[in-house]
Structure 1
């Protein structure tokens, strides 16, 4: 029984998704240039960024895990009807225990970020508040809901960049990419239970194409051998476009769910593309290593 309960509590945190959140941090870390310093021959400078990377990775684990756990808390009544197999409606996890766990995880996530610097701490606090706002209210708003969720991911990328806070004014606009992408995923996911959301699927496809174009533009604008980023972007397109196009054609809930799952996991590839653009393909490859880990966890734990 204990082992089953542990798995149920882990399910509340969506482990496969947490890996994608860690990829956000690592991408931001790469954008800031800290990854290049960490891998440089100057070990004294590089070592100074090891602990901040660990703290920020722990921070996003807490923020994301707590945020999605609160999602199940607020959805408990609806899940009892539509998804009774989830941990809370199935009785595997008490709602009160889920609330305590989610609160503790977010609090630890914020505290971990404050160990890096004040900017990191305040960004983490904002991400945590935005996550709870989405769970409690934002998800029910047709327009603000997807933006709300997108802001959480944008903040997560900026959290990684905040390891060198002076660079936040220079790179804040990069947050628009995960904002748009996750907004599109959130919009598409609304047909996951009942299907028949063709307009949302078409809108998602348009946003996906714009994001792919943006990644290629950034790769060549940064001047770090942009052609080396093309394989990352092609893999990203291969992962997200075919499932979405198939879902558009048939509009079945199962296919929409598969499209959403592929898009969430592909956040790792998006982050790898950004990292490769700013710090080189080898850094992008380090982030891409997270992909098989997330895929493996997705076979054990639900992604949505």
Structure 2
């Protein structure tokens, strides 16, 4: 397989987006309090947590990459009209080849999660099913579609929390944060091709504000100093609001696309904010280190 063929297959997986999914896992692990036990000193507990972090990170890579690649499989005919440069309609990747790659990636995601515990495997399987459901059916539904996509991210965050399964019963409501944020992105993205979706843009704006307010309240509820979270939220506002406001003013599909791209990448900042609220600013910085990687990949691969 030549380098151009490999690049085409990588395009299907949206590498910059995959990095944002890893941030979900790392934030979930912060919620579970497991970062405090990660070490490289050779201790049994430190190695165990480190291996679980690695398995869950691999799991989300498989789940996200497989899910978004299946999206192109199901959209092949539509992309032939609206996005003929995409790997499948351009002929650089066969539809059957893309489907097999997507399926294998999803299976890898579930198997990797199973190396942590059965609860993790069950959550990974649910995320895989939700992703395929969205690709095939959910994205065509005005109300259910954004919720469907948001549930994939919710499951991904809880997959990180599942490193300590007993905590899921306490922290499952945190899954509402990525659900609302991603539902907002999905709703806004409806105008990426044709524009003229002002109501959806304002709806997305209000949902972003809700997410920011909820995260800002977390330090108060969790007992973390609020100054540890504020810088991350300020960066989040800087990333998502200027391009969204421009899109609202112009209704230009290209500006809507830029707004969506900024929000997708900003999922890393959302996760860094959550991590800092539960585990301190140092862990928030660790999660935030994924941002430059995602931004670099976004220059080489499409985000939407």
Report the TM-score, using the length of structure 2 for normalisation: 0.98
Shift in Å at residue 187 of structure 1?
A: 0.3
| 1:227 matched residue in structure 2 | 227
| 1:62 matched residue in structure 2 | 62
Quick check: 1:14 aligned with 2:10? Answer: no
Quick check: 1:37 aligned with 2:32? Answer: no
| 2:169 matched residue in structure 1 | 169
Structure 1 regions of 5+ residues with no counterpart?
A: none
| 2:27 matched residue in structure 1 | 27
Quick check: 1:293 aligned with 2:293? Answer: yes
Which 10-residue stretch deviates more, 37-46 or 124-133? 37-46
**Rounded Cα–Cα distance in structure 2 between residues aligned with 1:157 and 1:193:** 29
Query: What pairs with 1:252-291 in structure 2 (closer than 5 Å)?
Result: 252-291=252-291
Query: What pairs with 1:95-114 in structure 2 (closer than 5 Å)?
Result: 95-114=95-114
Query: What pairs with 1:76-225 in structure 2 (closer than 5 Å)?
Result: 76-225=76-225
**Rounded Cα–Cα distance in structure 2 between residues aligned with 1:111 and 1:124:** 9
**Rounded Cα–Cα distance in structure 2 between residues aligned with 1:137 and 1:291:** 31
- Could you give the per-residue CA deviations for residues 237-269 of structure 1, whole angstroms, max 9, x where no partner exists? 110111111100101000000000000000000
Tell me, what secondary structure is at the counterpart of 1:49?
helix
Contact 2:40 2:47 in 1 (8 A): no
- Could you give the per-residue CA deviations for residues 19-62 of structure 1, whole angstroms, max 9, x where no partner exists? 00000000000100011221599944322201110000000000
Contact 1:220 1:227 in 2 (8 A): no
Which 10-residue stretch deviates more, 180-189 or 46-55? 46-55
Tell me, what secondary structure is at the counterpart of 2:299?
helix
C-alpha root-mean-square deviation of aligned residues, in Å?
1.2
Contact 2:39 2:50 in 1 (8 A): no
**Rounded Cα–Cα distance in structure 2 between residues aligned with 1:126 and 1:232:** 30
Give the 3 Å change call, closer, same or farther, for CA 42–279 of structure 1 in structure 2: farther
Which 10-residue stretch deviates more, 168-177 or 216-225? 216-225
Shift in Å at residue 222 of structure 1?
A: 1.4
**Rounded Cα–Cα distance in structure 1 between residues aligned with 2:189 and 2:219:** 29
Shift in Å at residue 224 of structure 1?
A: 1.7
Contact 2:39 2:47 in 1 (8 A): no
Shift in Å at residue 220 of structure 1?
A: 2.5
Contact 2:188 2:197 in 1 (8 A): yes
Tell me, what secondary structure is at the counterpart of 1:48?
helix
| 2:53 matched residue in structure 1 | 53
Contact 1:62 1:107 in 2 (8 A): yes
**Rounded Cα–Cα distance in structure 1 between residues aligned with 2:92 and 2:54:** 32
Tell me, what secondary structure is at the counterpart of 1:163?
coil
Tell me, what secondary structure is at the counterpart of 1:25?
helix
Tell me, what secondary structure is at the counterpart of 1:87?
coil
User: How many residues are aligned here?
Assistant: 304
Report the TM-score, using the length of structure 1 for normalisation: 0.98
**Rounded Cα–Cα distance in structure 2 between residues aligned with 1:138 and 1:27:** 26
Structure 2 regions of 5+ residues with no counterpart?
A: none
Contact 1:189 1:256 in 2 (8 A): yes
- Could you give the per-residue CA deviations for residues 46-85 of structure 1, whole angstroms, max 9, x where no partner exists? 2220111000000000000000000000000000000000
